[in-house]
Amino acid sequence: MSNKNPPVNGLTRKVLTSPVNFLAFGFGSGLAPFAPGTFGTLAAIPPYLLMQDLSLPVYLLVLALVSLAGVWICGKASQSLGVHDHSGIVWDEFAGFFVTMIAAPAGWQWILLGFLLFRLFDIWKPWPISVLDKKVRGGLGIMVDDLLAGIYALIGLQFVNFVLSQGHLY
């Protein structure tokens, strides 16, 4: 039996050896061989669980810091890789999911619904998300579509919460 490690490709090496790329790739979750955005959003759940009990002002401050840092992180990673919005860059999924979960009710059902709604809007990219995704470049361009998808998903999540809290569905 061999003790050799499997070969590491160039992208994996760039992600695992650069702190900025490691963050941009969602602590490595963006290296998933398929659906890296989905894996990135899944990887955002544990940090969200650490944040969910923060007061709303503190949660919003953390979200603002994650988002502002994300513009820089995603821009630097994009430059490092030579690809605008490489599919493995998933820091924007973290920020978008955190937007979705602003003031979300507690419980795994809400995390699941937030996950599904965010992925729906992030993939679908309804107007104006699709326009901004095509027109805005750099780190801001990488971040803005996911932040807007998070806002759409936040509205959907809060709408479902409102309807359920009223005790009827119509």
Tell me how far CA of residue 31 lies from CA of 58, 128, 138, 156, in angstroms.
31, 28, 21, 29
Mean of pLDDT values over 72-90: 93
3 state SS for the chain: CCCCCCCCCHHHHHHHHCHHHHHHCHHHHHHCCCCHHHHHHHHHHHHHHHHCCCCHHHHHHHHHHHHHHHHHHHHHHHHHHCCCCCCCCCHHHHHHHHHHCCCCCCCHHHHHHHHHHHHHHHHHCCCCHHHHHHHCCHHHHHHHHHHHHHHHHHHHHHHHHHHHHCCCCC
Residue 8 pLDDT > 70: no
pLDDT at 169: 60
Band of residue 170 on the pLDDT scale cut at 50, 70, 90: low
* Residues 142 and 92: beta-carbon distance below 8 Å: yes
Query: What are the pLDDT digits (tens) for 133-152?
Result: 888 999 999 999 999 999 99
CA dist list (Å): 15 to 11, 24, 32, 73, 140: 6, 8, 12, 12, 20
Mean pLDDT of 51-80: 97
Q: Quote the pLDDT of residue 130.
A: 86
Question: How does pLDDT run across 98-143, given as a tens digit for each residue?
Answer: 999 999 999 999 999 999 999 999 999 999 988 988 889 999 999 9
> For the chain, what are the domain ranges?
10-165
Position with higher pLDDT, 6 vs 14? 14
